[in-house]
Copies of this chain bind each other. A is one copy, B any other.
Amino acid sequence: MSIFESIDRPTLLLNEKQARQNIAFMAEKAAQNGVRFRPHFKTHQSAEIGEWFRPYGVSEITVSSVDMAEYFADHGWNDITIAFPVNLRQVQAIDALARRIRVGLLVESTESAAYLARHLTAQADVWIKIDVGAGRTGLPWQQPEKILPILQVCQSSHPLHLRGLLTHAGHTYGAGSVERVRQIYAETLQRLESVHAYLSQASRSPLELSVGDTPACTLVEDLRGVDEIRPGNFVFYDAEQTLWGTCRPDQMATAVACPVVAVHAEREAVVVYGGAIHLNKDFTTYQGQRAYGLVALPEANGWSEPLEGAYVSSLSQEHGLVHVPERWLDRIQIGGLLMILPAHSCLPVTALKSFLTLEGRRIDTLNS
């Protein structure tokens, strides 16, 4: 446990071996299905971890911001989709990037398409964002006629290259069961195909289909109906994906090591140094309770299985309040560490800025 001895504050641990296995699993699945693998790098945000994808022939990636695109372009990636409704206030930065590499943009309004047509000097791929039911962003799949004006703007504009239709079926994250995830994926595909059929006459070139949520990409066997998949979370998975059956507990590749600062046995509560500024206040549901993370014990090679019945019950700025059933309390002491398996794995990466591998090596990210 020597690398744990030096930990004096909330620290993001990475099981490198497991993360590499998760990458291999998804890359091989994409290859078997004959679909392009364009992984979302917003989960790890790390140039070094990005390199772990190269042996599988990955050369196209997804990111969630212009800053992240610039960072990965600086690290040798030259085909990047910025999977976020294009931010017109960053058009100059986007144009500069499109002069260096192939950039994909998400468009969901005629106004944005027209603005890009007027302000871009370099060519960019345009993906039209379709809402297949998540209700966050995108044009509603039921009204494909609304997409025609965007198609026309793209087709009459030199810098805009219409690439295809893209969706993020984010509602798989709230599906709650493996069966429901598979249903949502089948619906997603049907809905995308119906939009595709409507537009195919109006489009001068074939339109590709891009999908990409971790639950569906993990659980659906047959992904052959699309051109590319863009999952991100699978590289680490997390407590929620474990609870919902997307992955096994041992497939979780990150944990936040948190110093124990108080133990209140009479109320089955442990207080750790590790709060909202380290984990972000993102929660899932565990045993009917709001849970900001599950809980494991440090072990020589990493961390234990999640402790049955234990979870992070609340977070304030620096504090984590952890419910720990009585039977585990004799394993926990003030000055020791608890390993928090975050509800969602992406947000602690931004908050904690770098990883510490179980071999004691630091891995930087965009924010380091």
| A154, CB-defined interface residue at 8 Å | no
CB distance from A256 to the nearest CB of B (A): 14
Q: How far is the CA of A140 from the CA of B281 in the complex (A)?
A: 26
Query: Residue of B at shortest CB range from A267?
Result: B135
Instruction: Return the contact of A350 from the options B93, B277, B282 (Cβ within 8 A).
Output: B277
A109 near B262 with CB under 8 A, answer yes
Verify if A328 is at the interface (C-beta below 8 Å from B): no
CA distance A65 to B261 in the complex (A): 12
Bitwise, A230-268 to B at CB < 8 A (1) or not (0) is: 000000000000000000000000000001011100110
Interface size class, chain A: 35 or more
CA–CA, A88 to B67, complex, Å?
38
Which A residues from 270 to 316 make CB contacts under 8 A with B? 271, 273, 276-277, 280-283, 314, 316
Interface contact A280-B276, CB-CB below 8 Å = yes
Q: Does A102 contact B (CB under 8 A)?
A: no
Q: How far is the CA of A136 from the CA of B319 in the complex (A)?
A: 9
A205 CB within 8 Å of chain B: no
20 A-B interface contacts by CB (under 8 A): A8-B93, A9-B89, A9-B90, A64-B318, A84-B319, A86-B261, A87-B273, A88-B259, A109-B334, A111-B334, A112-B334, A135-B267, A137-B319, A276-B280, A277-B280, A280-B281, A281-B282, A281-B347, A317-B346, A317-B347
> Do the beta carbons of B90 and A8 come within 8 Å of each other?
yes
Give the complex CA separation of A314 and B136 in angstroms: 9
Chain B hits for A111, CB < 8 A: 333-335
Is A338 an interface residue, CB under 8 A from the partner?
A: no
* Closest CB in chain B relative to A255 CB, distance in Å: 17
CB closest chain-B residue, reference A262: B85
A182 beta carbon closer than 8 Å to chain B: no
A173 to chain B, nearest CB (A): 9
**A259-B87, A273-B84 given; A136·B321 CB < 8 A:** yes
Q: Does A115 contact B (CB under 8 A)?
A: yes
A233 to B330 alpha-carbon distance, docked (Å)? 37
Task: List 4 A-B pairs, minimum CB-CB distance, nearest first.
Answer: A85-B261, A88-B335, A8-B89, A281-B281
A212 at the interface (CB under 8 A from B): no
CA distance A67 to B135 in the complex (A): 41
A108-B262 contact given A64-B317, A276-B282, A317-B346, CB 8 Å threshold: yes
Instruction: State whether B136 touches A317 (Cβ < 8 A).
Output: no
Q: Are A316 and B170 in contact (CB under 8 A)?
A: yes
Max count, chain B CB within 10 A of own CB: residue among A93, A115, A267, A276: A276
The answer to whether A42 has its CB under 8 Å from any CB of chain B is yes
Chain A 24-67 interface 0/1 with B at a Cβ cutoff of 8 Å (1 = within): 00000000000000000010000000000000000000001101
* Alpha-carbon gap, A85 to B334, bound state (A): 10
Minimum CB–CB distance from A126 to chain B (whole Å) comes to: 15
Tell me if A96 counts as interface (CB < 8 A to partner B).
no
Q: Which of A89, A140, A269 has the most B CB atoms < 10 Å from its CB? A: A89
Would you call A7 an interface residue if the criterion is a C-beta within 8 Å of the partner chain's C-beta atoms?
yes
Q: Binary interface profile of A, 92-130, with partner B (CB < 8 Å = 1, else 0)? A: 010000000000000011011001000000000000000
